A = this chain, B = another copy of it.
């Protein structure tokens, strides 16, 4: 087994388990067992559990953000005055293509769940790491949102977009629970795609009102 294999297998297992259980509830022993590597491999290749957490985020956020950056540039070049739909379309398309990442397909729910963890379970080290590495792209995205709605104050833009993020992240974070509840309530199963198809108009209505 090559080094790349070991590192990748650890990242894969860690990503799955973090998304499923959170950081504290996932032990290095679970990760290394699932990855079929030795326990010490995590500390050897990554240094510590904290560094592993950061590496998991880096692996999907770095390609995602550079893709988003490129797409924003394309958008800005094509259209002198991008409206809200344009900006959100760029985000949505980048997310969907970013999900089908370099190595196979990453589930959208895993992506969302990790994003949710970043907000709700981020200890100091992760928050600092994310800000340091991805704040630039984030600011740029927000800037285009502002440009699309110059009549709204920056504060209004900020909060509306974070309400929307909340609806997405919460929904996708607890998608299994919610699907169970929906099943119990309505008697019908809701596929993840059904949910997305309802979520998008919901968000559009809330953002554009």
Residues of A near any B CB (own CB < 8 A): 22, 24-25, 116, 119-122, 127, 139, 142, 153-156, 158-160, 162-171, 173-174, 177-178, 181-182, 185-186, 188, 190, 194-195, 198-199, 201-203, 205-206, 209
Q: How far does the Cβ of A196 sit from chain B's closest Cβ, in whole Å?
A: 10
Partner of A163, one of B122, B127, B167: B167
Partner of A177, one of B25, B127, B155, B167: B127
Interfacial chain B residues near A166, Cβ < 8 Å? 166-171
Q: How many angstroms between the C-alpha atoms of A112 and B49 in the bound complex?
A: 29
A209–B201 touching, CB < 8 Å: yes
Interfacial chain B residues near A167, Cβ < 8 Å? 163-164, 166-167, 170, 206
Given A22-B22, A170-B116, A170-B165, CB of A186 within 8 Å of CB of B205: no
Interfacial chain B residues near A209, Cβ < 8 Å? 201-202, 205
